[in-house]
Amino acid sequence: MFYSAKFWGALRGVINVMLVVYMLAPLVIIFVISFSSALYLTFPPPGLSLQWYEKMFSNPTWTRTLVTSLKIMVPAAIVATVLGTAAALALSRMESKWALVIRAVLMAPLVVPVIITAAAIFGVFRIWGLYGSLSGLILAHVILTLPYVLSTVSANLAVFDKRLEDAAANCGAPPWTAFRRVTLPLISPSVMSGMLFAMVISFDELVVSLFLSTPRVRPVTVQMWSNIKGDTDPTIAAIATVLFLFSLLALLADGLARRRSGREPGL
């Protein structure tokens, strides 16, 4: 039995199914429950309804926090994308050994446990009066998401043929034109990818937001956190589904962008 290909094939099949169940089942269950007609969290639901989505969108707590999340996400993702892309470009052209050090420093927020970043930023922002402000949260989210942009764009620049810029210059293009007409179009898929990453990270972020937010300025994840710790009703399932669908959409958009540019799917 040990030697038969059938046995190994079947075993691999079982492993695959178990993996899919373990990774996806919780999300699927949340998704289904969010459409439940029951008044409490139960599975399988007795019937389907949109009541929890109605509840969510009619409850100002949820709509306000959702809007706050977006108000943080959009500027944070844009700033992180611009700064991260600019830094990636500069680093890719740097020949000094300092480039490695600077890159490590810019990547540090990804490596340092978030709780440390959160505590440190909270401590300092409180002194600077940024605690509980939208701009404070945006700044913090830029710090957290910039490494993602930097690493995706850098990975693309590593395979970018720099002689194309030389060729553009030789054709008569000044540096900025060469960048706009040649470099930017060629790295734009990774810039997009980095921005999507930044958006998802910002939208899902909880730990730093937990420290920096106040009841007045509170992103949806923090609201969810306090509700989960209290009593839970299927509205949270609806919110979770919204968050999950947002991530899924970003993942699909990224996959599409990569496929169009012919790159391999990465992490």
Partner 1 sequence: MTDSLLKLTDLGKAYGLINAAKDINLDVADGEFVTFLGPSGSGKTTTLMMVAGFTTPTAGGISLNGQPLDPIPVWKRDIGMVFQHYALFPHMTVAQNIAFPLEMRGVAKRDRRTKVEEAMEMVGLAGFGQRLPKELSGGQQQRVALARAMVFKPRLLLMDEPLGALDKKLREHMQLEIMHLHKNMGTTVLYVTHDQEEALVMSDRIAVFNQGRIEQVGAPRDLYEAPETKFVADFIGETNFIAGQAAGCGNGCASVRGLNGQLGAPLVDGAAAVLAVRPERLRVISNTTPGAENTLTGTVKELIYLGQSRKAIIALEDGTEVAALEQAAQAEATALAIGSQATLSFRARDARILADV
Partner 2 sequence: MTAGNRTLWLLIPAVLLIGVCFLYPVSWLLQRSVSEPVWGLQNYATIFSRSIYLGVLWNTITIAGVTTVLCALIGFPVAYSMVHARPRIRKLLIFVVLIPFWTSILVRSFAWLVILQRGGIINDILTGIGLIAEPMDLVYNRFGVLLGMVQVLLPFMVFPLYAVMARIDGSFFRAATNLGATPVRAFFRVYLPLCLPGLGTGAMLVFIVALGYFITPALLGGRGDIMIAQLIFERIDEFGDWPLASALAIVLLVGTGLLFAIIKGVSKLRRGRI
Residue 167 interacts, among partner 2, partner 1, none and using kind-specific CB cut-offs from 5 to 8 Å, with partner 1
Contact 234, 36 (CB under 8 A): yes
Residue 96 in contact with partner 2, rule: CB under 8 A? yes
Contact 50, 34 (CB under 8 A): no
C-alpha 4/C-alpha 10 separation (Å) is 10
How many CA atoms lie within 13 Å of 221's alpha carbon, on the beta-carbon side? Answer: 21
* Shortest Cβ 229–partner 2 spacing (Å): 8
* Shortest Cβ 148–partner 2 spacing (Å): 11
Stretch that binds partner 2, among 46-54, 64-72, 118-126, 187-195 (CB under 8 A): 118-126
Residue in 60, 129, 262, 265 binding partner 2, rule: CB under 8 A: 265
Residue in 6, 97, 163, 229 binding partner 1, rule: CB under 8 A: 163
* Shortest Cβ 257–partner 2 spacing (Å): 14
Which residues, 68 to 87, sit near partner 2 by CB under 8 A? 83-84, 86-87
Which residues, 21 to 60, sit near partner 2 by CB under 8 A? 22-27, 29-30, 33, 41-43
Site string for partner 2, 174-193 (x = CB under 8 A): -x------------------
Q: What residues does 36 pair with on adjacent strands? A: 48
Stretch that binds partner 2, among 60-68, 69-77, 185-193, 204-212 (CB under 8 A): 204-212
**Of 58, 180, 75, the residue nearest 137 (C-alpha):** 75
- For 91, 108, 213, 242, the CA distances from 78, given in Å and listed in that order, are 20, 20, 21, 22
- CB burial of 107-134 (b: ≥16 within 10 Å; e: otherwise) equals bebbeeeeeebbeebbeebeeeebbbbb
Residue 206 in contact with partner 2, rule: CB under 8 A? yes
Residue 124 in contact with partner 2, rule: CB under 8 A? yes
Residue 3 interacts, among partner 2, partner 1, none and using kind-specific CB cut-offs from 5 to 8 Å, with partner 2
C-alpha 185/C-alpha 85 separation (Å) is 13
Residue 123 in contact with partner 2, rule: CB under 8 A? yes
Which residues, 172 to 201, sit near partner 1 by CB under 8 A? 172-175, 177-178, 181-182, 185-186
Residue 257 in contact with partner 1, rule: CB under 8 A? no
C-alpha 236/C-alpha 222 separation (Å) is 12
- Binding positions for partner 1, rule: CB under 8 A: 161, 163-164, 166-175, 177-178, 181-182, 185-186
